[in-house]
Structures are given as C-alpha cells and as structure tokens.
Amino acid sequence: MPSSFPLNISELSRLYRQGELDPVAVLRNVVENVSADKNPGVWIYRCTQDQIDAQLARTMERKHRGIAQPLLGIPFAGKDNIDIAAIPTTVACPAFSYVPSKSAAVVQRLCDAGAIVVGTTNLDQFAAGLVGTRSPYGICRNPFNPQYISGGSSSGSAVAVATGMVSFSLGTDTAGSGRVPAAFNNIVGLKPTRGLISCTGVVPACQSLDCVSLFTLTCEDALTLLNIAEGFDPSDPYSRNRADLPHVPPNPSPLRFGVPQKEQLRFYDDAEAESLYCRSIESLEKHGAVAVEIDYAPFAEAAALLYSGPWLAERFMVVKELLERDPDALLPVTRSILEQGRAISASDTFGAMHRLEVLRQSARRETAKVEMLLLPTTGTIFTINQVQADPIQLNTKLGYYTNFVNLLDLCGVAVPCGFRKAGGVPLGVSLIGPAGTESLMLKVGDALHRAAGCGTGLRRMEIPSSKGSLQ
C-alpha cells in the first residue's frame, strides 16, 4: 500500500525540516510497505530494517559533523543492474549474480547526500527490452491495470515510484528504458545527457550509449536529483563535464518545439494516444510556444539502427562468456536478441557508423530549427498478452520515438500527458533536446505535466507548487 504522507522529495524534505515528520518513522513505514508489497514483479531485493537503520545512522552522523545532507531520509530504489554495496546485482539473471564490494558511483553520490536505499528493482533481463515482461523474477504489471505492461527495462523502478513506495528511483536508459516506464506509470523520467551521470558500477547494456536515468514524481524533483547525481568521474571512460558541452541559451523566447510531419507519426491505430499528443501540442502553444514541423525521417532511421546495427554486438559482449558457458541462463527472448550480435562483422560496424554520421547531419539541420522536440513517448501501450504473443515487433514499436536519442547525443524527459479511457492506463510525451539542456526541458516539462491535470503516480496526487528551481 502507498505511504500516507507525501513522498515527493521537495515536500518530504520540507516536512522533515519543519519537524512535522520524523525520518525514522517514515523509513519504518516505507520498509513495511515494501515488505508487504505482493506484486512479485517489482522487487528483486528488499533491504531489512537493520540495513535501513544503519544507513540513516550514517547520514545523521554526517549531518552532525556539518556535512550537507540535502536528501536526508529520502527513500529510493536502484534498478538491479546498478551496484549497491553488499546487495546482489543480478541484472535479472540469477546465473550472472554477484555481490559488489562497493556501490556504483551514482548510488554513492546520492547516499552521501543522505538518500536511503530500500532495495533493488526488477528489469527486463540485461536491460534488453521496453516491456517489463522479460524477467525470471516475474512480470512487472502496470499498477493502473494489471493486464497491461508497465514498460521496461526499468519496470520495477518506475512502479516503485508510481505506487508510493519510494520517493525516487534509478533506472538506466539505452534505448528508452528511462522514459517508456515513466509514460506507463504517470511519473517523470529524466534521461540526462550521456556521461553527465557516471556509469561506473553499472552493468553495461551497450556501454557507449548507456545512461543512468531518474524516475521522480515531479520535474522539480528530477532537477534536484540531477544536480546532486551528476559529476565528472575519471573512472568512467565515457564521463563528461557539463562545462565542456555547447552553451545553450536557457530561456529562448518564443520557445520553438519540433513536431514530426503528420505522415511520420505512428500511433498504431490508437486514436486516444494521438488525441493526447495533440492536446500536449495545444498546451505548449497556449503557453506561447511555437510548433515547427520537422522531418522525422533521420530520427526514425537512427532509431531503427539501434537494434538492426552493430550496437547489438556491443550488447553481445556483455553476455558472451555466460552464453558460451550456460546459454540456458538467459530467457529465450533475451538470448535471441543478444545472440544476433555474433554475426556482425567489422564492415557492418563501420558501414553503420558512417550511416549514423549522415543521419546526425540531417538531424542537426532539423534540431537547429527548434529548441527541442515534442514527441509521444510511445505511440500506444500494449497488454501483457499482446507482448507475449509478439515480443519483438511490439517492443520495436515502443522504441519508435525513443531509440535514437543516445545515438544522436541528445537528452530527454518524459512527462505524463493523460489517461486512455481504454484500459484506464496513462501515456506520456517526451521533450528531446541537445546535450546539456536538461534544465530547460524540465521547466517546459513541468508546465506540460501541470497542464495535463493527471497528477502524480497511482494516486494522481496534485503536483506541489514549485519552490523556484524551475521558474
């Protein structure tokens, strides 16, 4: 059951500061709720009360020494491909499991700021999927309607936030795994610029493209976390300094946002999804922004490259040894995807790399017309039965608006846009912009989220008034 108090970071922190809530009592309630959760598809590991108490004692001790603890007592979950010291990392594959001696760099930064880990969450095995059904630990069902998928691969992380068990969670996003689950769970999913958050201690899916993503209830919380979580890490070969990114004006006026040509949009016969997207366009226009039609073709082709090109070989590298030793350790659908990487040649790789550079040039011409793109996060949502009947093709459809983002070195935020009457499930839209423009997109995303009137998470709670960070 969800907690009876607000779990969004800004409000919970305020209640702590004012003495209206006690972190000890709140975290005991959180542990009780996580322990009582009957959905077998959300959690892989749940921390004990002793583990929680030890973390809180450490953060209180740091506070007493005068070390800033901006996330003091804020509960969070980590996707089970991100190392947390002394807790097994499984990547939803028991045969791959190991117990790390130290936490991933991003987890350590958050814990050093006072955040409290309450467990690790389920995922599509080896982060290969956008559906949340590919795990030996169970299917992670949509909390609004259990017949529907929750989105993947960061399925458990999104559901844990949406159902009020934690304030935020960590996901990873290579092809859309930090955005698709946000759309299907009525929460915010931030996929930062590649390299701004360290991936040291994250099991790679596709190392050159991987990002740690953030699931929150509000855009304001996402910005708070990003400011804490990001930072150059010399142990991560793909780490980047924000200062080295191109400068982008923070408040363009009027804001121009790109929308695909009508014939390039894909809603897969979902009229309600199309209507919700059109309503989001109208919402931005009412805020004074200007819609600009762009050619989506280079973005769509880049998206298709991700699972038809040499990046499958990069994914295969992660599981090569396990596949040779114990091929049955992987689920059949996961194995069928990753084993395609065996046959990719060096000439295939360079051919795809050269084609990607052509697409980058074409995409730059389109993005130069606007400050950001406004896209559906997905064109529709599917039931679990539909996905199990056609796991590859339906997964591909879910990536039409997401797969290109890391390949083209862009960043994005997914925000709720409303609910379908069919199934009663939520959908979302995404703002996609140049590297380093997270702050601007979160500001615009906050306006879209509020205008949608769908609240936050399963309880659809009202979005708190912004304290100024997004103004």
* H/E run at residue 432: strand 426-434
Alpha carbons 367 and 373: distance in angstroms, whole number: 8
262 in helix, strand or coil?
A: helix
Q: Name the active-site residue from 3, 79, 169, 191.
A: 79
Alpha carbons 134 and 391: distance in angstroms, whole number: 9
Catalytic: 153? yes
Q: Name the active-site residue from 153, 154, 283, 430.
A: 153
Beta 426-434 vs 372-376: how paired, if at all? antiparallel
Catalytic: 177? yes
Catalytic: 4? no
Helices vs strands, H then E, count in the chain: 15, 11
Q: Name the active-site residue from 177, 239, 280, 430.
A: 177
- What phi and psi, each to the nearest 5 degrees, are found at residue 181? -65, -30
Closest CA to 7 of 228, 221, 192, 184: 221
Q: Hey, how many other C-beta atoms are within 10 angstroms of the C-beta on 93?
A: 22
Peptide bond into 254 cis (omega under 30): yes
Q: To the nearest 10°, the Cα dihedral for 331, 332, 336, 337?
A: -40
Which residue in the block uniquely carries the two structure tokens 């790109």? 258
Chain mean position to CA 357:
26
Q: Give me the active site residues, please.
A: 79, 153, 177
